[in-house]
């Protein structure tokens, strides 16, 4: 470790790591309340010195009770901080897709609201922008200069987003401002009191699980069909069958290797590998013997390390399923127009609906909460019941048919 204490008064600047001098320069200092802090800044010494000068000025202004960044010579742009926050998310073990989504949400809100520096973030303006995104108010009411926006942001405002997507934008912004507060870029998190909207009041994409007879029609019609998106019919049928009997999502099935299907064990099942917080754990999903035997006829000829299923690109999975639904004479969805200009689709049969079909079968079989959590793989049974257990009309009728009848005799006697 190479130390240099004479660059900026009140802090220590040193380089750590990199045997050939390629490590980052670090800054160690005391906050306004006396707590010790240290942070890796940059491989460039001049950039680190400027950052240290800014931080020392911010500490001094906090001691004096002044706004932390007013009048600083080296303001940090929010775009740069958002990119740094993306790296923090990745360092915490989250996926690149999640980090990219957070960065996109943050930059979108900041662009629409005109936030360019941390101290300019305001709760009221953020709420107005979020309201314009989900079309609760117009962009003009939110104070958004639409004519100055690029084409993508104009299209986003015109199209609008659902309450669920609006809440996703809010979560990203709140996690960002919480991080800004923790890194002393702002004195207080301005968004901590903003509440999410009730997503039940604005459902734009309601899935519907396929009934047993519909699943059979889909699988049978797919198995004898021509290749679609480069995937033969029997491979697509096996994919849909596996999703329906395991409840696994398309992403999980894409990663599956043949060895993860323990089809000849007692009981037979599937081993799902789950990565959480840089650690990997296994979840065993049991299968009925009849279902395991059908999968065995498809998978037994494959080597253990071979991918279990052939799948198209991620963006084509739903398109592939829509074509197969059409072959089977099944609708993909029903469009609903409430007269408010918002496009809504109900009874959607996308790939995730196959998980809904599985969850519905488990619920109708009378599973208790613990069994429901184990089989479907959620943290709570309420999540499964609310989001995935789509008890369709015919299944409800089947349940009523199994109830003991009270009979008509009391009514006949009363008459």
Q: 407 lies in a domain?
A: no
d(C-alpha 44, C-alpha 250), whole Å: 44
Residues 390, 258: one domain? yes
Output 372 or 126, whichever has higher pLDDT: 126
Output 90 or 63, whichever has higher pLDDT: 90
Residues 196, 258: one domain? no
Residues 40, 120: one domain? no
Q: Is the pLDDT of residue 382 over 70?
A: no
Residues 286, 314: one domain? yes
Q: What's the predicted TM-score (pTM) here?
A: 0.62
Which residue, of 175, 201, 227, is where some domain finishes?
201
Q: 324 lies in a domain?
A: yes
Round the average pLDDT of the chain to a whole number and report it.
81
List, in order, residues 6 or more apart from 123 with CB less than 8 Å away: 190, 191, 193, 194
Share of the chain above pLDDT 90, in %: 25
Query: Is the separation of the CB atoms in 304 and 259 below 8 Å?
Result: yes
Residues 42, 82: one domain? no
The phi, psi pair for 302, rounded to 5°, reads -95, 150
User: Using one digit for the tens of pLDDT, what is the confidence trace for 4-47?
Assistant: 545 677 788 888 765 555 577 888 888 878 888 888 887 778 77
| Residue 228 tokens, joined | 């679609």
The phi, psi pair for 24, rounded to 5°, reads -80, 150
If you write DSSP's letter for every residue of 46-95 in order, what string do you get? Answer: HHHHHHHHHHHHHHHHHHTT--SSTT-SSPPPHHHHHHHHHHHHHHTT--
Give me the pLDDT at residue 352, please. Answer: 85
d(C-alpha 266, C-alpha 281), whole Å: 21
User: Using one digit for the tens of pLDDT, what is the confidence trace for 305-354?
Assistant: 999 999 999 889 999 999 999 999 998 887 777 666 667 777 778 888 88
Q: Is the pLDDT of residue 391 over 90?
A: no
Residues 266, 145: one domain? no
Q: 290 lies in a domain?
A: yes
Q: 297 lies in a domain?
A: yes
d(C-alpha 167, C-alpha 194), whole Å: 10
Would you give the DSSP letter of residue 365?
A: T
Which residue in the block uniquely carries the two structure tokens 């005799």? 409
Strand partners, 11: 29
User: Using one digit for the tens of pLDDT, what is the confidence trace for 153-188?
Assistant: 888 988 888 888 999 999 999 999 999 888 878 878
Give me the pLDDT at residue 415, please. Answer: 43
Query: Is the separation of the CB atoms in 185 and 88 below 8 Å?
Result: no
Residues 148, 92: one domain? yes
Query: Is the separation of the CB atoms in 187 and 58 below 8 Å?
Result: no
Q: 21 lies in a domain?
A: yes
Give me the pLDDT at residue 238, please. Answer: 92
User: Using one digit for the tens of pLDDT, what is the confidence trace for 108-130?
Assistant: 999 999 888 888 889 999 999 99
| Residue 8 tokens, joined | 């900026």
Which residue in the block uniquely carries the two structure tokens 């949400």? 105
Residue 86: C-alpha distances to residues 110, 274, 415 (Å): 15, 22, 74
Residues 93, 219: one domain? no
Residues 221, 298: one domain? yes
Q: Is the pLDDT of residue 74 over 50?
A: no
Give me the pLDDT at residue 306, please. Answer: 93
Residues 246, 391: one domain? yes
Q: 408 lies in a domain?
A: no
Q: 330 lies in a domain?
A: yes
Q: Which of 120, 99, 278 is nearest to 172 (CA)?
A: 99
Give me the pLDDT at residue 126, please. Answer: 93
User: Using one digit for the tens of pLDDT, what is the confidence trace for 239-259?
Assistant: 999 998 888 888 889 999 999
Which residue in the block uniquely carries the two structure tokens 């007879």? 213
* Number of domains present in the structure of the chain: 3
Neighbours of 144 (CB within 10 A): 23
Provide the CATH number for the domain around residue 328. Answer: 1.10.443.10
Give the confidence band of 412 by pLDDT, cuts at 50, 70, 90: very low
Give me the pLDDT at residue 395, please. Answer: 55
SS3 label, residue 360: helix
Residue 142, domain extent? 78-201
Would you give the DSSP letter of residue 268?
A: -
Q: Half-sphere exposure (CA, 13 Å, Cβ side) for 408?
A: 2
User: Using one digit for the tens of pLDDT, what is the confidence trace for 131-155?
Assistant: 999 888 999 999 988 888 888 888 8
User: Using one digit for the tens of pLDDT, what is the confidence trace for 256-292?
Assistant: 999 999 999 888 989 888 765 545 678 888 888 888 8
Which residue in the block uniquely carries the two structure tokens 């707590």? 35
Residues 328, 377: one domain? yes
Give the confidence band of 1 by pLDDT, cuts at 50, 70, 90: very low
Query: Is the separation of the CB atoms in 330 and 347 below 8 Å?
Result: no
Helix (H) or strand (E) holding 348: strand 344-348
Q: Which whole number is the average pLDDT over 345-368?
A: 80
Which residue, of 11, 40, 63, is where some domain finishes?
63
Q: Which whole number is the average pLDDT over 76-96?
A: 84
Question: What is the β-pairing status of strands 344-348 and 205-207?
Answer: parallel
| Residue 306 tokens, joined | 């071979």
Q: Is the pLDDT of residue 90 over 60?
A: yes
Give the confidence band of 218 by pLDDT, cuts at 50, 70, 90: very high
Q: 282 lies in a domain?
A: yes
Residues 219, 181: one domain? no
Q: Which whole number is the average pLDDT over 363-384?
A: 71
Which residue, of 174, 201, 228, is where some domain finishes?
201
């Amino acid at each position: 470790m190479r130390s240099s204490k004479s660059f900026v008064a009140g802090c220590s600047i040193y380089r750590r790591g990199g045997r050939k001098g390629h490590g980052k320069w670090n800054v160690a200092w005391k906050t306004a309340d006396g707590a010790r802090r240290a942070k890796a800044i940059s491989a460039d010494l001049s950039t680190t010195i400027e950052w240290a000068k800014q931080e020392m000025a911010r500490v001094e202004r906090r001691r004096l009770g002044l706004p932390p960044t007013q009048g600083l010579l080296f303001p940090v742009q929010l775009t740069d901080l958002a990119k740094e926050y993306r790296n923090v998310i990745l360092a915490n073990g989250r996926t690149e897709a999640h980090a990219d989504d957070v960065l996109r949400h943050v930059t979108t809100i900041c662009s629409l609201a005109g936030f360019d520096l941390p101290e300019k973030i305001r709760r009221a303006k953020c709420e107005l922008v979020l309201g314009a995104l989900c079309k609760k108010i117009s962009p003009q009411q939110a104070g958004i200069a639409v004519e100055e926006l690029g084409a993508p942001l104009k299209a986003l405002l015109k199209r609008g987003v659902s309450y669920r997507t609006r809440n996703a934008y809010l979560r990203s912004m709140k996690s960002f401002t919480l991080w800004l507060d923790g890194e002393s870029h702002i004195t207080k998190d301005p968004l901590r009191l903003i509440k999410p909207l009730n997503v039940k009041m604005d459902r734009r994409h309601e899935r519907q699980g396929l009934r047993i007879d519909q699943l059979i029609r889909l699988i049978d019609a797919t198995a004898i069909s021509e290749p679609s998106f480069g995937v033969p019919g029997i491979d697509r049928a096996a994919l849909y069958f596996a999703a329906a009997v395991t409840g696994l999502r398309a992403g999980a099935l894409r990663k599956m290797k043949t060895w993860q299907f323990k089809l000849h064990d007692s009981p037979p099942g599937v081993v799902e590998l789950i990565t959480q917080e840089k650690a990997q754990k296994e979840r065993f999903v049991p299968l009925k013997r009849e279902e395991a035997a059908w999968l065995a006829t498809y998978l037994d000829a494959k080597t253990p390390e071979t991918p279990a299923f052939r799948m198209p690109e991620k963006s084509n999975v739903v398109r592939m399923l829509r074509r197969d639904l059409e072959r089977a004479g099944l609708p993909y969805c029903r469009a609903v127009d409430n007269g408010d200009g918002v496009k809504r689709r109900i009874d959607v049969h996308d790939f995730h609906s196959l998980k809904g079909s599985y969850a519905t079968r488990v619920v109708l079989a009378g599973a208790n909460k613990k069994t429901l959590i184990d089989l479907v793989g959620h943290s709570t049974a309420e999540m499964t019941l609310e989001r995935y257990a789509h008890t369709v009309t015919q299944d409800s009728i089947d349940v009523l048919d199994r109830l003991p009848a009270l009979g008509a005799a009391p009514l006949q006697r009363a008459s």
